[in-house]
């Protein structure tokens, strides 16, 4: 009897160990942090050809390197492409959704007719200015190479700045986390590699529209810039850029798993004019994120926001002309924002009006 009881106890404790092992095992499996790495362009779509380089090749090399590093840190990596092939923008999002990824990172290189250089990181949003629109337009125009693009993208027109408005809603849920990882990548570019800071911005990138997870698009730099193009095309440049992206993703993962999405830096999203002075009308602020929709802001449009710590500041309009800004202020007050004020920015950093007049004497 005693023997039987012992045997029974042994049997149950073994069973318990097996069960708990299985639970642990299956948990660690499903809990594995999954990152989808999306190398921009591919196949018949070369991306930009600044200085004769191929954006599709550079983005793929960097994407594969980022994945290699992250795999060593026990993250699960899914690539949208591992070879030189054409993939539609929707398909890229489908892959990310299918794997229920925790993060989607799309990798690109920029181009410009000027000597512009520097690295920038984007989250989905309304393009608050011409420059952001142009970047998104370039990355979105690939849909012209897809069959039935009109149907697939519900009439989206890459050449129309207004066309982006319908895109924004789906990603809003993940905006805080997208901004967090974007600013971590961007800080790494600047602090570790001394890349010129083109800051975190919002614009209407189609590839970010349909993903159900925090999603960012990295513009590593400008292939059209002689020095930066050569750097990004070099092994050294690709290793350095991928190291810093992977480092940011690992830090982000650790913060998310600890449940912290609080941003430590001031002015994280900078939608103000490219290299420029701008005047905006601050109409509201608060700790809650309000989608930038007219109906949330008494019918006003041309809305942007800046997140500082846990506080959101909301702005209306954007100009570098003080008289125009005064007209915007009157419009904001007439709409019911009695406490609205004019706020000046220089390269995305808030400055006083005095400083603004010094820098912009006309
Ligand atoms: Zn691109």
CA 345–ligand 1 middle distance (angstroms): 28
Write phi, then psi, for 195 (nearest 5 degrees): -75, 150
CA distances 249 to 86, 105, 168, Å, are 26, 9, 24
DSSP track, 132-159: HHHHHHHHHGGGGGSTTHHHHTTT--TT
Å from CA of 362 to ligand 1 middle: 37
- Convert the pLDDT of each residue in 215-242 to its tens digit: 999 999 999 999 999 999 999 999 999 9
For range 185-191, the mean pLDDT: 94
| 165 Cα to the center of ligand 1, angstroms | 21
Per DSSP (E only), the strands in the chain are 34-39, 76-79, 103-110, 119-124, 197-203, 215-222, 277-286, 303-308, 311-319, 341-346, 349-351
**Ligand 1 mean position to 233 CA, how many Å?**
15
Mean pLDDT within 98-104: 93
- Supply 284's token pair: 């509201």
Place of tokens 């400008």: 222
Q: What is the CATH number of domain 33-257?
A: 3.40.630.40
Taking only the tens place, the pLDDT of each residue in 79-92 is: 999 999 999 999 99
Question: What pLDDT is stored for residue 206 in this prediction?
Answer: 86
Higher pLDDT, 153 or 20: 153
Q: Give the list of residues 6+ apart from residue 47 with CB closer than 8 angstroms, or none.
A: 40, 41, 54, 55, 56, 59, 108, 109
What is the per-residue pLDDT across 310-324, written as a single tens digit (0 to 9) for each? 777 888 888 888 999
Q: So what's the pLDDT on residue 303?
A: 78
Question: Does 272 score more than 60 pLDDT?
Answer: no
8 A C-beta contact, residue 200 and residue 87:
no
Does the pLDDT of residue 210 top 60, yes or no? yes
Please tell me the predicted confidence (pLDDT) of residue 63: 98
Percent of the chain with pLDDT over 70: 80
Mean pLDDT of the chain: 83
Task: Return the pLDDT at 10.
Answer: 62
CA distance 195 to 212: 30
Confidence (pTM):
0.68
- How close is the Cα of 160 to the center of ligand 1, in Å? 18
pLDDT confidence bin for 77, thresholds 50/70/90: very high
- Going from the Cα of 271 to the center of ligand 1, the distance in angstroms, rounded, reads 20
pLDDT surpasses 80 at 15? no
Distance from the alpha carbon of residue 297 to the mean position of ligand 1, in angstroms: 33
**What residues have CB less than 8 Å from 285, skipping those under 6 apart?**
311, 312, 313, 314
Closest CA to 185 of 116, 258, 265, 290: 265
Mean pLDDT of 186-213: 90
Provide the 3-class DSSP secondary structure of residue 257.
Answer: helix
Select from 105, 70, 84, 77 the least CA-distant residue to 254: 70
pLDDT at residue 332 tops 80? yes
pLDDT above 90 for 255: no
How far apart are alpha carbons 331 and 335 in whole angstroms? 6
- Residue 222 — φ and ψ, nearest 5°? -105, 115
Biggest CA–CA distance in the chain, Å, is 100
Query: In angstroms, rounded to a whole number, what is the distance separating the alpha carbons of residues 341 and 349?
Result: 16
Q: Where are the domains of the chain?
A: 33-257, 277-359
Least confident of 23-27, 46-50, 58-62, 169-173: 23-27
Q: Are 182 and 123 in contact (CB under 8 A)?
A: yes
C-alpha 41 to ligand 1 mean position (Å): 6
Q: Which residues surround ligand 1, an ion (CB under 5 A)?
A: 40, 47, 108, 139
219 CA to centre of ligand 1 in angstroms: 8
Residue 168 Cα, ligand 1 centroid: separation in angstroms?
Answer: 20
Q: Answer whether residue 29 shows pLDDT above 50.
A: no
| Enclosing H/E stretch for 334 | helix 322-334
The CATH H-level superfamily of 277-359 is Sporulation related repeat (3.30.70.1070)
Confidence of residue 67 (pLDDT cuts 50, 70, 90): very high
* pLDDT tens digits along 102-131: 999 999 999 999 999 999 999 987 666 777
pLDDT over 90, % of the chain: 46
Cα(331)–Cα(340) distance, rounded to whole angstroms? Answer: 10
Alpha carbon of 337 to ligand 1 centroid (Å) = 40
Q: Who has greater pLDDT, 40 or 348?
A: 40
């Amino acid at each position: 009897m005693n023997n039987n009881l012992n045997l029974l106890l042994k049997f149950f404790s073994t069973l318990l160990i097996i069960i708990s092992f299985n639970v642990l095992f299956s948990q660690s499996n499903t809990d594995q942090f999954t990152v989808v790495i999306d190398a921009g362009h591919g196949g018949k779509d070369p991306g930009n050809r600044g200085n004769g380089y191929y954006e599709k090749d550079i983005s793929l090399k960097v994407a594969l390197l980022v994945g290699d590093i992250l795999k060593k840190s026990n993250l699960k990596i899914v690539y949208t492409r591992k070879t030189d092939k054409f993939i539609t923008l929707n398909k890229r999002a489908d892959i990310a959704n299918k794997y229920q990824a925790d993060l989607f990172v799309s990798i690109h290189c920029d181009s410009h007719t000027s000597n512009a250089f520097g690295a920038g990181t984007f989250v989905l949003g309304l393009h608050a200015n011409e420059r952001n629109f142009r970047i998104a337009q370039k990355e979105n125009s690939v849909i012209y190479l897809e069959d039935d693009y009109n149907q697939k993208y519900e009439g989206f027109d890459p050449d129309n700045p207004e066309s982006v408005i319908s895109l924004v809603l789906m990603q809003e849920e993940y905006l805080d986390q997208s901004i967090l990882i974007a600013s971590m990548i961007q800080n790494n570019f600047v602090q570790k590699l001394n890349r010129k800071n083109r800051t975190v911005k919002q614009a209407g990138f189609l590839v970010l529209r349909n993903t159900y997870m925090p999603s960012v698009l990295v513009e590593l730099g400008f292939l059209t810039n002689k020095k930066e193009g050569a750097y990004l095309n070099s092994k050294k440049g690709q290793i350095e850029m991928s190291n810093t992206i992977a480092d940011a993703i690992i830090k982000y993962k650790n913060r998310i798993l600890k449940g912290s999405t609080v941003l430590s830096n001031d002015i994280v999203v900078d939608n103000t004019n490219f290299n420029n002075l701008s005047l905006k009308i601050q109409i509201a602020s608060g700790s809650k994120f309000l989608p930038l929709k007219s109906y949330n802001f008494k019918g006003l449009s041309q809305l942007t926001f800046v997140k500082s710590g846990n506080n959101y500041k909301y702005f209306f309009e954007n100009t570098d002309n003080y008289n125009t800004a005064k007209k915007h202020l009157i419009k904001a007050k007439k709409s019911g924002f009695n406490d609205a004020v004019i706020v000046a920015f220089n390269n995305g950093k808030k400055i006083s009006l005095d400083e603004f007049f010094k820098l912009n004497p006309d």
